[in-house]
């Protein structure tokens, strides 16, 4: 009996010492426990997976992706932010905090570490008031940004993600917001930071900001994004990952428990192992032509058009919508932007690429405008000059006749008579 017990104990220890396998390769889409989920390829912009992608759901603290992006786009990281009394208003600030105090000064740079790593709600309010002037205006900026990204199912009510009626988004919209944020290198630096110590004068308040994303450092492909939780939203997770030159962004919303991390890894693995991204049209390809004065020039792609499709399956061609912007131009430099091409996958715009000129065009000197009678007179004068030149040329070509004086003629004959005799 002791031997059996020992063997069971050894097997138990061995099983628990093996690293857990989160990413099982399968050609079938993974089973996701969350209410909504979405997966996109960053480079092509194409959707690889969707579960209730357009269902309205509460995003919890994944809201702070938009808050942080707007702060980076509209603020200066070296700005010194003076915190207001709003951070003590329990109606708008509760839950996760770093216990900021009214009048406390902190750089925007450090507030963003508190926002994006620690997910501090008081930091979110401080950032919003600094960038927007007040909370309502900043929330307006959040919604305007969502609209500018073409998102129609997102409504923000606050910069924190705390529960508030009407504060909703979708897994699809949140993936597109994350894609826009991921394109910003400063934002990427923040969300891939595991730990950062911020500067504070009070030694008895939190200073070490630790990233709440448990996959960061645990999965070598994961390089950031944001967690979230409220009782209403449940567990939420947005993740960015890179592998073999490809970048993916995945979203899971309203997941009941910590299986959200296993689900996320399985979702990412599905995207990396079952799809590939290829070049549909390389950079520098001529997409269309446009007229600059009397010249026709080619409009070239500034970046390649990429498409993502399942491995060993034919890819569907995207729809291209071309918008030349060259109007009434007379001069163009090689490489000058002269339009855009939108790349559409079904009913969704997934990319927008600049179009540039393949060569330079220099305007030709324009003829002076004059009344018709001046033109006719000029033609008459030109014809007259040509006539005179032709006549003089003909006269110059005629042979000259010899002219002899009478005395010279007589002398010539005399000379000839003498020579004959």
Report pLDDT digits (tens) over 183-208.
999 999 999 999 999 999 888 899 99
One domain, residues 196 and 298: no
- Whether 288 and 262 map to the same domain: the answer is no
Q: Residue 55 falls within a domain, yes or no?
A: yes
Clarify whether residues 340 and 231 are in a common domain.
no
Active site residues: 61, 64, 119
Q: Is residue 47 classed as helix, strand or coil in its secondary structure?
A: strand
pLDDT grade for 71, boundaries at 50, 70 and 90:
very high
Question: By residue range, what is the domain housing residue 164?
Answer: 22-274
**Alpha-carbon torsion angle 176, 178, 181, 185, nearest 10:** -120
Residue 105 domain flag: yes
According to the model, what pLDDT value does residue 413 have?
44
The answer as to whether 303 is a domain residue is: yes
Q: Are residues 103 and 208 in the same domain?
A: yes
Asked whether residue 222 falls in the same domain as residue 289, the answer is no
Say whether pLDDT at 58 is over 50. yes
Same domain, 188 and 77: yes
Q: What is the pLDDT of residue 311?
A: 92
How far is it, in rounded angstroms, from Cα 262 to Cα 278? 28
Same structural domain, 267 and 345 = no
Residue 101 lies in a domain: yes
Residue 10 lies in a domain: no
- For position 362, what pLDDT does the model report? 85
- Print burial letters for 193-216: b (CB count within 10 Å at least 16), e (below 16): beebebebeeeeebeebebbbebb
384-397 pLDDT, tens digit per residue, is 788 788 777 777 66
352 pLDDT band, cuts 50/70/90, is very high
Beta bridge partners of 361: 332
Q: Which range among 74-78, 109-113, 131-135, 204-208 shows the weakest confidence by mean pLDDT?
A: 204-208
The CATH number of whichever domain residue 313 belongs to comes to 2.60.410
Task: Say how many C-beta atoms besides its own lie within 10 A of residue 305's C-beta.
Answer: 19
Please tell me whether residues 154 and 257 are part of one structural domain.
yes
Number of alpha helices (DSSP H) and beta strands (DSSP E) in the chain: 10, 16
Q: Do 210 and 238 lie in a common domain?
A: yes
Same domain, 117 and 187: yes
- pLDDT band of residue 383 (cuts 50, 70, 90) is confident
Angstrom distance (rounded) from CA 385 to CA 5: 123
Split at pLDDT 50, 70, 90, the class of 326 is low
**Among candidate residues 224, 239, 274, the one where a domain is terminated:** 274
Q: What is the CATH number of the domain that holds 187?
A: 3.40.710.10
Residue 362 lies in a domain: no
Of the three residues 213, 246, 274, the one that is the final residue of a domain is: 274
Mean pLDDT of 284-297: 86
Same domain, 125 and 36: yes
Q: Assess whether 270 and 298 both reside in one domain.
A: no
pLDDT at 1: 41
The pairing of beta strand 305-310 with beta strand 275-281: antiparallel
Domain termination residue (choose one: 357, 380, 403): 357
Which whole number is the average pLDDT over 286-315? 88
Which of 73, 82, 90 minimizes the C-alpha distance to 106?
82
Note whether residue 371 is domain-resident.
Answer: no
The residues facing 239 across adjacent strands are: 225, 250
Number of domains in the chain: 2
221 domain-assigned:
yes
> Residue 304 has what pLDDT?
94
């Amino acid at each position: 009996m002791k031997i059996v017990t020992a063997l069971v104990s050894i097997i138990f220890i061995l099983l628990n010492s093996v690293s857990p396998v989160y990413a099982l390769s399968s050609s079938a889409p993974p089973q996701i426990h969350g209410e909504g989920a979405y997966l996109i390829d960053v480079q092509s912009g194409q959707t690889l997976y969707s579960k209730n992608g357009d269902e309205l759901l509460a995003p919890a603290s994944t809201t702070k992706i938009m808050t942080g992006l707007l702060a980076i786009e509209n603020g200066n990281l070296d700005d010194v932010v003076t915190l207001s009394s709003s951070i003590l208003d329990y109606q708008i600030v509760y839950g996760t905090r770093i216990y900021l105090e009214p009048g406390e000064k902190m750089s925007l740079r450090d507030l963003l570490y508190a926002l994006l790593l620690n997910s501090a709600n008081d930091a979110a309010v401080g950032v919003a008031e600094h960038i927007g002037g007040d909370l309502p205006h900043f929330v307006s900026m959040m919604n305007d940004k969502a609209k500018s990204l073409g998102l129609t199912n997102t409504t923000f009510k606050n910069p924190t993600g705390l529960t508030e009626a009407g504060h909703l988004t979708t897994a699809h919209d949140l993936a597109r917001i994350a894609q826009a944020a991921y394109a910003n290198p400063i934002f990427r630096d923040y969300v891939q930071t595991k730990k950062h110590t911020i500067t504070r004068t009070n030694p008895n308040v939190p200073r070490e900001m630790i990233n709440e994303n448990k996959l960061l450092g645990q999965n070598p492909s994961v390089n950031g994004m944001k967690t979230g939780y409220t009782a209403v939203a449940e567990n939420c997770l947005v993740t960015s990952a890179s592998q073999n030159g490809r970048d993916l962004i995945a979203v899971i919303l309203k997941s009941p428990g910590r299986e959200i991390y296993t689900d996320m890894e399985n979702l990412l693995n599905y995207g990396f192992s079952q799809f590939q991204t290829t070049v549909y049209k390389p950079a520098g390809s001529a997409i269309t032509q446009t007229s600059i004065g009397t010249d026709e020039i080619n409009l070239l792609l500034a970046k390649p058009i990429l498409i993502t499709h399942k491995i060993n399956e034919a890819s569907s061609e995207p729809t291209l919508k071309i918008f030349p912007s060259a109007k009434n131009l007379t001069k163009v430099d090689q490489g000058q932007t002269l339009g855009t091409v939108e790349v559409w996958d079904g009913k969704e715009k997934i990319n927008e690429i600049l179009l540039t000129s393949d060569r330079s065009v220099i305007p030709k000197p324009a003829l002076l405008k004059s009344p018709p009678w001046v033109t006719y007179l000029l033609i008459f004068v030109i014809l007259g000059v040509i006539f005179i030149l032709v006549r003089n040329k003909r006269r110059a070509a005629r042979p000259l006749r010899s002219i002899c004086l009478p005395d010279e003629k007589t002398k010539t004959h005399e000379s000839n008579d003498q020579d004959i005799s």
